[in-house]
Every structure is written in C-alpha cells, then in structure tokens.
Amino acid sequence: MSFKEKFREGIISAKDFSREDIDYILKKAKEMVQNKKNSELLKGKILATLFFEPSTRTRLSFESAMHRLGGRIIGFHSGDVSSAKKGESIADTIRTVENYSDGIVIRHNLEGSARLASKFAKIPIVNAGSGSGEHPTQALLDLLTITEEGRKLDGLNIGIMGDLKFGRTVHSLSILLSNYDVNIYFISPKELMMRNRDKDFLRQRQAKYKEIEKYRDILNILDVLYITRIQKERFADVEEYDRVKNIYVFTKKDLKETKDDFKIMHPLPRVTEISPDIDDSPKAIYFKQTYYGVPMRKAILAELLSD
C-alpha cells in the first residue's frame, strides 16, 4: 500500500508509522528541502487550520507550506472565536468544516481529539497536537532535522528531557524513534516521568530506554539532547508546577561537557530551560527545527491533498 493510501484518513498518531513510512516521508521532505521553489501542486485546494489551543510554529508553518504549494487556507486560531465557545462538539465542527475544505489540521486540548475528528471526517485530518497525547508532525520534523544535520537515526544516543508526562512532542518522538536502533535516556523529575502506557508501548516495540533524573551524568555520551518545556497549562495544581518549573536549565557550562558534534534540540516555545546565551552555538539547532517544519509539512500536505 502506498503512503497516500495508508494515510488516507490523515496523520493521527506516530503509532501508525512503520519505519518504511517514516523513511518515505523523510525522503519526500528532503526533496522539499532541496527544491525550495514554490509550486502549484495544490492549486485549487483548501486547507482548514482549526486551532483550539495557542500555536506559533505549527499553525504558521502549515499555512506557509500550503501557500508555498499554491493552495489556500481557512481557519481559526482560538476556540474562543469558533462555535466551540457556544458549546459545539468537535464532531459537529468537523462535519461542518469538511464541506468547506479538502483537509483539516486540528489542535485541541483533548487527548484523542484528532482520532475522534477523523471518525467524523471524509477528508484527511492532521493531528497538530492532541492535549498531552501526541504531536506526530512535530516528531517527523524533528527526525528530518536530525538527519539533515548530518546524523543517522540508527545508533543515536538521545536524551529526552523535561516534561515527559504532559509533553505531547516527546510521546510522538519516542514512538517514531522506536522504529530505529536508538538508545533513549528519558530525563525528568519523578513526577514528570513518561506515563506507563507510553512506556508499555515502547517496551512492546523493544525500544532501548533508561529513565534518569540528572542529565549531567550522561552529557558526555549523548549525540542529541531534546529539551522540552514544563507544560504549565496541564497542571491541575499551580504549586506543583512551581516546584518543578526550573528543575532543568541547560547552560553554557553544560555545553562544555558535550561531544564536539553534539546537538541540542527543543520543539519550542522555550521558557527558562535553555539559557539564551547558547543560541549562537552550532550545537544549538532548535531554530533549525523551525526551519524544517515547512518542508516536512509541504511533504505531508502534498501526500494527503494532491490528486
């Protein structure tokens, strides 16, 4: 089955991807990196971007990708300006918007929202963040960044640090990585460890991972450290957030302990977890990740929406 056929209903979860699927979309995205010229591939197509939660990179890079492929955009950037504010369900919103567009990109605070949307839609749905659940297109662009910045996925030693409980990008990233021969170090305080259901899945896939609390112990063996923000908006208790919010702050001093070709990544937005004085280091590639968002999303939209 081709990628296009397999993902006819859209990009919902990293779990749906085999190694072959990932390699295929990485290849397509690399072609988009090579060929920066705008095209008319999606001329006449309309993409709806339904963002019920805040976004800078994900929404704008999807919209930029659609424009660069000659398509058009409709949508909203907050649940407050849509009929969700009046109490409309996701199902009803989707059954409406599918009449106005050829594909839907959705970000919603409900875990499982994208899967739910895809049950009601006859057009492809792209999960742009489903609560604390998943963010598969971010994980795909993360893999594109790693490989474009000169790394093979097999053999990679990667630290994934921060809010591993609520952070959706790290769920999708570790699931995608479980298709490769990778050593993962999950670094978090006890209360923000990967959830059991995520670890169960990784174990089933026989992924190699360790859970630790202190990153300094392993800095010298890592090829990549992927840092994430503590997800303030997901905490039920503000005091609990305050206790952990500054638990990790990666500094210039830490950078000295790393290998020459070490890379530091972050899906952004960053709050305090990476000190800005390392932004100019060639080891800091988090703004490159933002750059690779567009070619990856062009590749995805081309697969899902072209005739």
Q: Which of 86, 197, 214, 256 is catalytic?
A: 86
Question: Which residue, 104 or 183, has its beta carbon nearer to ligand NCD?
Answer: 104
CA distance 290 to 286: 7
Question: Which residue, 193 or 268, has its beta carbon nearer to ligand NCD?
Answer: 268
Residue 293 CB, nearest distance to ligand NCD (Å)? 8
3-state SS class at 202: helix
Q: Which of 45, 59, 68, 107 is catalytic?
A: 107
Dihedral sign, Cα of residue 212, residue 216, residue 217, residue 221: positive
Question: Which residue, 219 or 230, has its beta carbon nearer to ligand NCD?
Answer: 230
Amino acid at residue number 219: L
CA distance 133 to 194: 11
- Contact (CB, 8 A) for 177 and 186: no
User: 48 forms bridges with which residues in the sheet?
Assistant: 74, 104
Residue 37 CB, nearest distance to ligand NCD (Å)? 26
Question: Which residue, 84 or 170, has its beta carbon nearer to ligand NCD?
Answer: 170
- Cis peptide bond upstream of 269, omega within 30: yes
Residue 58 CB, nearest distance to ligand NCD (Å)? 4
Q: Which residues bind ligand NCD (CB under 6 A)?
A: 57-58, 129, 135, 138, 168-169, 228-229, 267-269
CA distance 143 to 56: 20
135 in catalytic set: yes
Q: What order do you get walking across the sheet with 263-265 strand by strand? A: 208-212, 183-187, 157-161, 224-227, 263-265
Residue 229 CB, nearest distance to ligand NCD (Å)? 4
36 in catalytic set: no
Residue 267 CB, nearest distance to ligand NCD (Å)? 4
232 in catalytic set: no
Distances (CA, A) of 209 to 133, 175, 215: 20, 12, 14
Place of tokens 């999708």: 172
Q: Which of 77, 135, 171, 229 is catalytic?
A: 135
Q: Which of 30, 57, 72, 270 is catalytic?
A: 57
CB atoms within 10 A of CB 154: 10
CA distance 294 to 29: 9
67 in catalytic set: no
252 in catalytic set: no
Q: Which of 28, 45, 49, 58 is catalytic?
A: 58
Question: Which residue, 138 or 174, has its beta carbon nearer to ligand NCD?
Answer: 138
Active site residues: 57-58, 86, 107, 135
